[in-house]
Amino acid sequence: MKRILRRIVSGVLITLTFGIVIASYSFHIEPAWIEVVQLQETLPRLSPAFQSFKIVQISDTHVGRLMGQERLNQIIDLVNEQEPDLVTITGDFVTHHPDRYADTLISGLRRLTSKHKTVGVLGNHDYSSDPVEVRRILQEGGVLELSNSVYTIQRGEEQLQVAGLDDLWAGKTDLDEVLEQLPQQGAAILLIHEPDFADTSSLAGRFDLELSGHSHGGQIRFPFVGGVWFPRDGRIYTQGRYQVGDMVHYTNRGVGMMAIGARLLCRPEITVFTLQAPA
């Protein structure tokens, strides 16, 4: 009997110790362990004038209680270290109360450096909090919001198109409006917060690359199971690279968190795309 009790107590202690280690790692280590993912992407319509053009994507900063100035500055420093031609931010700048965190976000956004602009689109949390205030923050932070609009980058006679769709969850997405504005010349990159819109945008046949966030990659993932929860419009293309028709889609895992401030087997991500013209 004593031997059995010792085994039970030993098993309980091992389980508790393992749980404490995993919890400590998930709350204190992985959220700050940012992965810089480097990708080379050949775009069929990319002009040789844009060979090796570098786009750095971040998403889902969720500035607030779990993303203060120090952590945001760490992320900005890593972005700037990549020497981007263009910085893209695919939504959910805040979770709640953008007025409380305006100074933090503006200060961070102003520190971004790129050869061209920093561009972004709003996400569902930006809308559910206060889109007017978020837009004011972006403007003061030097971010060009692409709200169903197009930003054209010119190199000599050649062009690269960067389009942005307003938030799908909020019912503000207008793909037809973007397509009407979109020049026919050059490769086209599309930004939208919610990744599952790729099934629709790919049918337009005009976009070479689509960048999204929203899903956080599940934020908490388990071996052999994957993510345990994904938001609406983020359940098909949950993380990483996908080929959707003739369009490449990429879902960034985000740098911030919401709900519980933990990540497990799903590190925060900065994605660096080095564009290649066809041979």
Write the CATH number for 184.
Answer: 3.60.21.10
Decide if 2 is inside a domain.
no
pLDDT of residue 1: 66
Q: Does residue 21 lie within any of the structural domains?
A: no
SS (H, E, C) the chain: CHHHHHHHHHHHHHHHHHHHHHHHHHHHHHHHCCEEEEEEEECCCCCHHHCCCEEEEECCCCEECCECHHHHHHHHHHHHHCCCCEEEEECCCECCCCCCCHHHHHHHHHCCCCCCCEEEECCHHHHHHCHHHHHHHHHHCCEEECCCEEEEEEECCEEEEEEECCCCCCCCCCHHHHHHHCCCCCEEEEECCCHHHHHHHHHHCCCCEEEECCCHHHCEEECCCEECCCCCCCCCCCCEEEEECCEEEEECCCCCCCCCCCCECCCCEEEEEEEECCC
- pLDDT < 50 regions, the chain: none
**What pLDDT score was predicted for residue 101?**
97
pTM, entire model? 0.94
Q: What does the pLDDT read at residue 15?
A: 60
Total domain count, the chain: 1
User: What range does the domain containing 110 cover?
Assistant: 33-276
Residue 150 domain-assigned (yes or no) = yes
Sign of CA dihedral 259, 260, 266, 269: positive
Residue 4 maps to a domain: no
Q: What's the pLDDT at 93?
A: 98
Residue 24 pLDDT: 81
What's the pLDDT at 13? 54
Give the pLDDT confidence score for residue 20 in this predicted structure. Answer: 73
